[in-house]
Amino acid sequence: MVIQAIFLLDTLDKDINSFAMRVREWYSWHFPELVKIVNDNYLYSRISKIIEDKSKLSEEHVPMLTEVLGDEDKAREVVEAGKASMGQDLSPIDLINVQTFAQKVMDLADYRKKLYDYLVAPNLAALIGDMVGARLISQAGSLTNLAKWKHTQVRSCIPFFIHRTCIC
């Protein structure tokens, strides 16, 4: 299961990034200024979900935006940018589609976090880190097989996992 989980984690990383970029692309037609304020793809998806229609953005949104962004000044900047935005209005069905897709990105990111937590092998993680440990287990086939490896075989693999390829 660990092997499949690490492969799924790699796939989720790529998919979440790709899908979040799509949310940014779609929502930037409506609120292009938001891209400059919120750099993180996941946060952008969460913010677009909170804002929905920029024309309805008001001071009432500041607490929710502050909770997500962790910065009240940035939240106020989002509200002010929304009021002066040059973006086009989206039809209600377009907004629903963007919001639904943003929710899917958030759900995938939450699942990725749960999967990452599942992969923790505490002793191995303490020595070499969660991801490298999971990749070593994946390469060996199981934790039992990894325990049978010679130390030179383990040491030769670790640097290559930084680049996600192993020649061991």
Give tens-digit pLDDT for 70-92. 999 999 999 999 999 999 999 99
Question: For residue 91, what pLDDT is reported?
Answer: 93
Q: How confident is the model over 63-67, as a mean pLDDT?
A: 96
Domains and CATH numbers, the chain: 2-115 (1.10.287.4070), 120-161 (no CATH)
Instruction: Name the burial class of residue 90, with classes exposed (0-12), middle (13-18) and buried (19+) by CB atoms within 10 angstroms of its CB.
Output: buried
User: Among positive and negative, which fits the CA dihedral 97, 100, 106, 109?
Assistant: negative
How many helices (H) and strands (E) are present in the chain, helices listed first?
10, 0
pTM over 0.85: no
Within 10 A of 53 (CB to CB), how many other CB atoms are there? 14
Query: Cα separation of 39 and 56, whole Å?
Result: 22
Residues 123-138 have pLDDT tens digits of 676 777 777 777 788 7
Report the C-alpha dihedral over residues 145, 146, 150, 152, rounded to 10 degrees: 140
Q: Is the pLDDT of residue 115 over 70?
A: yes
Band (143; pLDDT cuts 50, 70, 90): confident
